[in-house]
A = this chain, B = another copy of it.
């Protein structure tokens, strides 16, 4: 009982996913600009008209795609940071950036969407907002833990996040697995910059909060 209508629901969800996957693949293959409703529909084996059952217009498809991936990324980052034994500016930056790398390996489409896709205004806005939020979260976390000086300008962390974003763009554009040299350098770059605004604890590291008490 209550499950009676599940099949329909499930079918819809599957189709939405198929559409998103199709869009994703096509973007990787031909770029965001070339993305068209007809092509998406063909690839997803869905009538063009059906796209409009699930999405208001083309933009919304792209946006949904980015949102889907974003959620996955946020979760991965949160997990990586949460798992740190000791925290410092360096360890957080490293964990965060490594988490992104892992995701990019997992979802190559994302690499393209995340950068090329920003042509699209709504995607662009969404990504910027997301970066801002990521920056805000990181700053809050770092301030709470006493890693950065209180009152640190949020714009500084935003700049760091955006710059990290570009590092990935560079690392992945030539090589879908990500150029390790660039990534390592990028981590140095971002870490070095943020340490300028760190407390000494932020530089030398402290144990993970909520971990030190068993004593």
Q: Which residues of A contact B (CB under 8 A)?
A: 31-33, 116, 119, 121, 153, 155-156, 158-160, 162-163, 165-167, 169-170, 181-182, 185-186, 188-189, 192-193, 196
With CB as the reference atom, state the residue of chain B lying closest to A116.
B119
Give the residues in chain B near A181, CB-CB below 8 Å: 153, 155
Please tell me if the beta carbons of A119 and B33 are within 8 angstroms of each other in the complex. yes
Q: A162-B170, A166-B162 are in contact. Are A188 and B182 (CB under 8 A)?
A: no
With both beta carbons as reference points, the residue of chain B lying nearest to A163 in the complex is identified as B163
Q: Is the CB of A159 within 8 A of B155?
A: no
A selection of 13 A-B contacts at a CB cut-off of 8 Å is A33-B119, A153-B181, A155-B181, A155-B185, A156-B185, A159-B186, A159-B189, A162-B170, A163-B189, A166-B166, A188-B193, A189-B193, A192-B193
CB-defined contacts of A185 to chain B, threshold 8 Å: 155-156, 159
Q: Which residues of chain B have C-beta atoms less than 8 A from A192's C-beta?
A: 192-193, 196
Report A27 CB to chain B, min CB distance, Å. Answer: 13
Q: Beyond the given A32-B119, A159-B182, A163-B167, please list 6 additional residue pairs across the A-B interface where CB-CB is below 8 A.
A: A116-B119, A159-B167, A159-B170, A159-B186, A162-B166, A192-B193
Cα–Cα distance between A193 and B187 once the two chains are bound (Å): 11
Nearest 5 pairs of A and B residues by beta carbon:
A166-B166, A189-B193, A119-B119, A163-B163, A162-B170
Question: Closest residue to A179 on the B side, CB-wise?
Answer: B155
Given contacts A33-B33, A185-B156, contact A165 B163 (CB under 8 A): no
